[in-house]
Structure 1
């Protein structure tokens, strides 16, 4: 936790903030080994970053005096990530990784090779998703929560949603065997589509290409989804 991320409800009057949840308190004690008088980096969800002086810390709460919340968070990546829904454990890690890298718009998509049981996972509950996003923000010293949407049908997504997402964006379909290598150093708005374990089926690839996406690949190696997404984002941006 490289940033103490404060919700608006954590902030009291007179520039004070009070942290009460067990996870952050445990991190302050066991990782930061914080003590009153320490100054730590703090930020407000969807707001600015600054410093906070720790006034008190016990098993129930930590109190900070906020100082100069006037720094902007790091810039976001110009990408909307469309990710075929991974298995629950991989979803948790992937959300944390892409949030730390600066992705601010994520769509989780159903495809043929996505197990239907994945959509019943507790990991898709709004609060669970938020917890993973917060962990990514804390890692990267960021405050801007990503927007996550669920697309439970492939055909409705391609026919009704994808055309709008491609307006003003370059669509890139990452899939093994595509003709073009992954480009580098983009700064234009981009829609990046990544398939599930086993990849998109041929019919899905055809529909995405027909909709206006460009097929790209990362080379001959077949990577896990979380590895592929991280590699793609690092190379593209």
Structure 2
């Protein structure tokens, strides 16, 4: 936890906050070893970063005087379209995209996405938010990504994706193409990444009709949780 993120409910005044979140309390007490008078790095969710000075330390609450003047890191000019991953991968992927600065994530259906994946409690709004906050805390960011769920592939690609991709360059990660993925770009991008096993040819063709160019990153076939940070590191 590289920054303590405050919610609007934690604010008791414009420049004061009270932390009661058990996970945060545990971290401040036992990892930071903080005491009254210590200064912590804090941020307001979807707001600024800054500092908080501990003014009172109770068993179930920590009170801070806060000064939030620092803007959060720049967001990536990226919209990520991702085939719904296996539930046990969701936690890592949500944290990763939040840490790296992705602010728009569209989780979509695909032929290789098992129907049961859509029933996982890991897609509940509270769970998604909790994992995104963990990623933001790691990356010292405050802006929560937006996560959208799309359970039907063809209607999404044909009816919604053209507007989502808009004026961006559109790429789909696909190991079976001759076009190499670009690197160190400086323009807005929409990137589609398939589930484990990738998109099937029909899906690649449909994405192509929507303006997506298939690109590869070499001969190695990666897991989704590996491919995403690899791709983002290469692109940006």
* TM-score interval, smaller chain: over 0.9
Instruction: For 2:84 and 2:141, locate their aligned partners in 1 and report how far apart those are by CA, in whole Å.
Output: 25
In the alignment, is residue 25 of structure 1 matched against residue 25 of structure 2? Answer: yes
Structure 2 residue aligned with 1:2? 2
Show CA shifts across 1:77-98 (max 9, x none). Answer: 0000001010112111011011
Of residues 73-82 and 31-40 in structure 1, the stretch that sits farther from structure 2 once superposed is 31-40
Q: Closer, same or farther in 2 for the Cα pair 1:99/1:14, shift >3 Å?
A: closer
Structure 1 residue aligned with 2:201? 202
Show CA shifts across 1:116-154 (max 9, x none). Answer: 111111110000000011001111110111111001100
Instruction: For 2:66 and 2:213, locate their aligned partners in 1 and report how far apart those are by CA, in whole Å.
Output: 47
Structure 2 residue aligned with 1:88? 87
Gaps of 5+ in 2: none
Instruction: For 2:219 and 2:186, locate their aligned partners in 1 and report how far apart those are by CA, in whole Å.
Output: 26
Question: Matched residue of 1:12: which SS?
Answer: strand
Question: Matched residue of 2:52: which SS?
Answer: strand
Structure 1 residue aligned with 2:212? 213
Structure 1 residue aligned with 2:140? 141
Structure 2 residue aligned with 1:105? 104
- Give the structure-2-normalised TM-score: 0.98
Show CA shifts across 1:48-98 (max 9, x none). Answer: 11100012333311111112x111000000000001010112111011011
Structure 2 residue aligned with 1:43? 43
Instruction: For 1:147 and 1:175, locate their aligned partners in 2 and report how far apart those are by CA, in whole Å.
Output: 25
Question: Matched residue of 1:65: which SS?
Answer: strand
Shift of 1:34: 1.4
Show CA shifts across 1:16-55 (max 9, x none). Answer: 1001111111111121121111101111011111100012
Q: Closer, same or farther in 2 for the Cα pair 1:14/1:151, shift >3 Å?
A: closer
Shift of 1:14: 5.6
- Give the structure-1-normalised TM-score: 0.97
Structure 2 residue aligned with 1:56? 56
Question: Matched residue of 2:12: which SS?
Answer: coil
Question: Matched residue of 1:181: which SS?
Answer: coil
Gaps of 5+ in 1: none
Instruction: For 1:27 and 1:55, locate their aligned partners in 2 and report how far apart those are by CA, in whole Å.
Output: 17
Q: Closer, same or farther in 2 for the Cα pair 1:222/1:137, shift >3 Å?
A: same
Q: CA RMSD in A?
A: 1.0
In the alignment, is residue 116 of structure 1 matched against residue 112 of structure 2? Answer: no
Instruction: For 1:57 and 1:115, locate their aligned partners in 2 and report how far apart those are by CA, in whole Å.
Output: 48
- Tell me which stretches of 4 or more aligned residues in structure 1 moved more than 4 Å: none
